[in-house]
Amino acid sequence: MGHSYEKSKKDATKFILILAAITLLEVFVALTGKGHLFGGKFMFPGFALAGIMIIMSLYKAYLIVYEFMHMKYEVPALVKTVLLPTLLLVWAVIAFFAEGRDWQKRRDLITDKNNIEVDDPVIIRNSQTGMSEDTKVIKTQG
């Protein structure tokens, strides 16, 4: 016949309580890791805090997808059609952030080069070079 109403209700309540507990743990870890609890005696490094938060968030996502979206009851091919695009989306976000960081570094380099000031440019007269106008030659270090 299938699952009874009481069993389904019990399972849903169990998973909601698990999600609530993980969320409370995430809040506790975040507040402790940033030094807002216990007078700042316990603080986590940024990468450790981020890693813990990512792991807990992924576990919550796993519970939501497999229980509330009923993916654990589906055939493997359907599960793969849901998970593969999700993984590609995560990969794309990571790639875009990496590309954006590289673009920002190049933009900062160009901005820094544009802001170089030279105190005394050397002026070469057109009689020395054969050019039609006076030319400023800027000597930079580096």
79 contacts 71 by C-beta, under 8 angstroms: yes
Cβ neighbours of residue 26 under 8 Å, at least 6 residues apart? 53, 56, 57
CA–CA distance, 112 with 19 (Å, rounded to integer): 48
* pLDDT reading at 129 higher than 90: no
A 10 A CB-CB count for 33 gives: 19
* pTM higher than the cut 0.75: no
CA–CA distance, 35 with 33 (Å, rounded to integer): 5
CA–CA distance, 107 with 110 (Å, rounded to integer): 5
Q: Where are the domains of the chain?
A: 1-73, 85-136
41 contacts 21 by C-beta, under 8 angstroms: no
Q: Higher confidence at residue 22 or residue 47?
A: 22
pLDDT tens sequence across 76-122: 888 888 888 988 998 999 999 989 888 989 999 888 888 877 666 66
Per-residue tokens: 7: 């069993």
pLDDT tens sequence across 20-29: 999 999 999 9
